[in-house]
């Protein structure tokens, strides 16, 4: 089911949400049970836009109570250190800053450093919507020659689509793009749009799993021409004790219509340490699984939640 959802159905869901949200926002309290939306007939058997004050945009079934959404009494949920983003949002009025450092050995001749890798996530309008802004700086060394500069600016929105209900996953959608603000060596010289669909399950208090399917615009290093890069990932997270967690993950970058870029497969894992409910430290390491992939990477980071 996860891989068969048509793109036009997702667009219909978002369009329906805009209609229902505009109706709810026109009321003073902003929270009501929505009824009688003829435009939602095709999807209401799967998604029910019940209460507009829910923590997610949709509920799997229409009830008078909401489930899912951010829990501000629980420890923060971060998008790092794994490749797979979290399937939850931070919550309205909440700011979360995630920073880090990564060392990557591409091959015998080339390695790079990226820092401070900031991603600012801020909840706007409703608990299910967050604004995302990211940027980082790079230092690349090839045969002893160094080149530095910033990446293009990353902008996006994360939309919390559904909570988990039994075997039905918690889901989120991230429309995203990069804009050409980076240094000459690292910029795409154009807007690169994309989208990321995330789905996750909490299996028990100690075990969870999630995946993501996304596409993004990219530029071929060999020819300088643009192409679409697809990415697929799957991660399994473990709770080792109250403060320590771990994960293992596979992900792949798959170019479509690229001139020289090739598919890259990676395996990585890491640990997280919860300093308190609003601060988390992480460490990770990964290895390329095929010849086109980087040899390995290691990194660390810190995430902070602000009310």
Q: How far apart are CA 171 and CA 193, in angstroms?
A: 20
Residue 201 has pLDDT above 60, yes or no: yes
Indicate the pTM of the whole model: 0.82
CA dihedral (299, 210, 126, 9) positive or negative: positive
138 neighbors 108 (Cβ within 8 angstroms): no
What b/e readout covers 195-207, taking b as 16+ CB neighbours within 10 angstroms? bbbbbbbeeeeee
Residue 3 has pLDDT above 60, yes or no: no
Q: How far apart are CA 180 and CA 166, in angstroms?
A: 42
pLDDT attached to residue 181: 95
- The residue among 2, 60, 13, 47 whose CA lies nearest residue 199 is 2
- The total of other beta-carbon atoms located within 10 Å of residue 225's CB is 13
What b/e readout covers 19-36, taking b as 16+ CB neighbours within 10 angstroms? ebbebbeeeeeeeeebee
pLDDT attached to residue 246: 98
Helix then strand count (H, E) for the chain reads: 1, 15
Take residue 166 and report the two structure tokens written for it.
Answer: 């039994």
Q: Report, as an integer, the average pLDDT of 239-258.
A: 96
* 90 or 52, higher pLDDT: 90
Q: Report, as an integer, the average pLDDT of 209-214.
A: 98
- Give strand ranges (E) for 124-168: 129-134, 137-142, 145-150, 153-162
- The total of other beta-carbon atoms located within 10 Å of residue 305's CB is 22
Mean pLDDT, all residues of the chain: 86
Q: How far apart are CA 283 and CA 100, in angstroms?
A: 9
Q: Report, as an integer, the average pLDDT of 191-201.
A: 97
């Amino acid at each position: 089911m996860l891989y068969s959802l048509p793109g036009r159905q997702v667009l219909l869901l978002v369009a329906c949400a805009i209609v229902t949200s505009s109706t709810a926002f026109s009321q003073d309290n902003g929270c009501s049970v929505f009824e009688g939306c003829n435009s939602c007939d095709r999807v209401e058997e799967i998604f029910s836009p019940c209460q507009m004050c829910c923590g997610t945009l949709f509920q799997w079934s229409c009830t008078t109570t909401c489930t899912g959404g951010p829990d501000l009494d629980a420890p923060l949920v971060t998008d790092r250190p794994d490749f797979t983003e979290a399937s939850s949002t931070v919550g309205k009025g909440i700011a979360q800053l995630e920073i880090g450092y990564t060392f990557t050995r591409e091959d015998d001749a080339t390695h790079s450093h990226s820092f401070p890798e900031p991603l600012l996530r801020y909840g706007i309008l409703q608990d299910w919507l967050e604004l995302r802004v990211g940027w980082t700086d790079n230092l690349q060394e090839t045969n002893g020659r160094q080149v530095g500069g910033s990446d293009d600016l990353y902008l996006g929105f994360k939309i919390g689509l559904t909570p988990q209900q039994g075997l039905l996953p918690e889901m989120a959608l991230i429309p995203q793009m990069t804009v050409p603000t980076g240094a000459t060596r690292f910029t795409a010289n154009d807007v690169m749009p994309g989208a990321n669909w995330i789905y996750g399950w909490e299996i028990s208090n100690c075990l969870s799993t999630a995946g993501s399917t996304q596409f993004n615009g990219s530029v071929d290093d060999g020819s300088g021409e643009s192409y679409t890069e697809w990415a697929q990932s799957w991660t399994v997270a473990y709770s080792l004790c109250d403060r320590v967690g771990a994960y293992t993950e596979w992900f792949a970058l798959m170019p479509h219509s690229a001139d020289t870029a090739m598919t890259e497969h990676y395996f990585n894992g890491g640990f997280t340490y919860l300093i308190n409910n609003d601060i988390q430290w992480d460490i990770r390491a990964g290895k390329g699984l095929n010849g086109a992939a980087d040899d390995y990477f290691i990194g660390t980071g810190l995430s902070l939640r602000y009310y």
